[in-house]
Amino acid sequence: MRALPVGDDALLVEVASGEEAQALHAELLRRRTEGSLSVREIVPAARTVLLDGLADAARLASELTTADVPPAPTRAREVVELPVRYDGPDLADVAAHWGVSPHEVVRVHADTEFSVAFCGFAPGFGYLTGLPPRYDVPRRATPRTAVPAGAVALAGPYTGVYPRSSPGGWQLIGTTDTVLWDPTRVPAALLSPGTRVRFVPVGRS
C-alpha cells in the first residue's frame, strides 16, 4: 500500500488489486461512521482510494502504509435487479471468446450476482465485478463512436451499463431500459460502490 499526497488535505492510496481497493474503501467508510476518521470524500477506483478533506493527511498516510486492512464485509443491502434483453451485437463474439454458445453466455451472466466496485467514466456508470477471471474479455479493437444508453457491456473483468449514449469500446451483450442516472432522483445514481446487482433476462435472448 502506498499513500501519495494530493494537495494539502487529500491522499491517493494505491493498492495491488481491486479486491484490496474494495476492502480499504469499506474499512475507511467504517472508520468514518464510527467517528475515528474525519474526511469529506472517500472515492474508490480500480486500484486506488482517494480521500479528500483530511485534517492531518500526513499522519493518516503514515498509518495506512502499515495498517492491516480486513477483507470487505458482505453487504446486506438489497439486490438491484436490472431487466435485460440479451440482444447485443457482440454477444456472439463474447460466446466465441468464452468458447461457449450465446445461450450459455446469457445463463452465466444472469446467474451471477455482481457488486459495484467503483464508479466513473460517466455519471451513473458502475464497474461491476463478479464474473470469474476465465470470463474476462478484451475491449473491441475499434471502439464505437456511439453506444446507446442502456447498453449492457463487458470489458476485462467488468460488466457495465451505459447510462447515456457515448463512445465506447466495450463488448455489447444486451440492453436494459432501467435509468441509471436521473438528476431529479435522490440519489441521482442508481448504482454506487458496494451495490449488489443482478441482471434478469426478459424478452427474446
Task: Please tell me the predicted confidence (pLDDT) of residue 74.
Answer: 64
Show Cβ contacts of residue 77 under 8 Å, excluding neighbours closer than 6 positions. Answer: 194, 195, 196
Higher pLDDT, 160 or 74: 160
The pLDDT value given to residue 76: 54
Residue 158 has pLDDT above 90, yes or no: yes
Model pLDDT for residues 76-116, shown as the tens digit of each residue:
568 999 999 999 999 999 999 999 999 999 999 999 999 99
Say if residue 61's pLDDT is above 90: no
Task: For Cα atoms 48, 52, 56, give the angle at the middle one, nearest 5 degrees.
Answer: 110
- Whole-angstrom Cα distance, residue 20 to residue 46? 9
Q: How far apart are CA 17 and CA 20, in angstroms?
A: 5
Give the model's confidence band at 33: pLDDT under 50 very low, under 70 low, under 90 confident, else very high.
confident
What average pLDDT does this structure show over 163-186?
Answer: 94
**Three-state secondary-structure class, residue 5:** strand
User: Is the whole-model pTM more than 0.95?
Assistant: no
Cβ proximity of 155 and 90 under 8 Å: no
Give me the pLDDT at residue 43, please: 87
Kindly tell me if the per-residue pLDDT of 140 is higher than 60. yes
pLDDT of residue 205: 47
| Helix-helix angle 102-111:91-98, to 10 degrees | 90
Percent of the chain with pLDDT over 70: 97
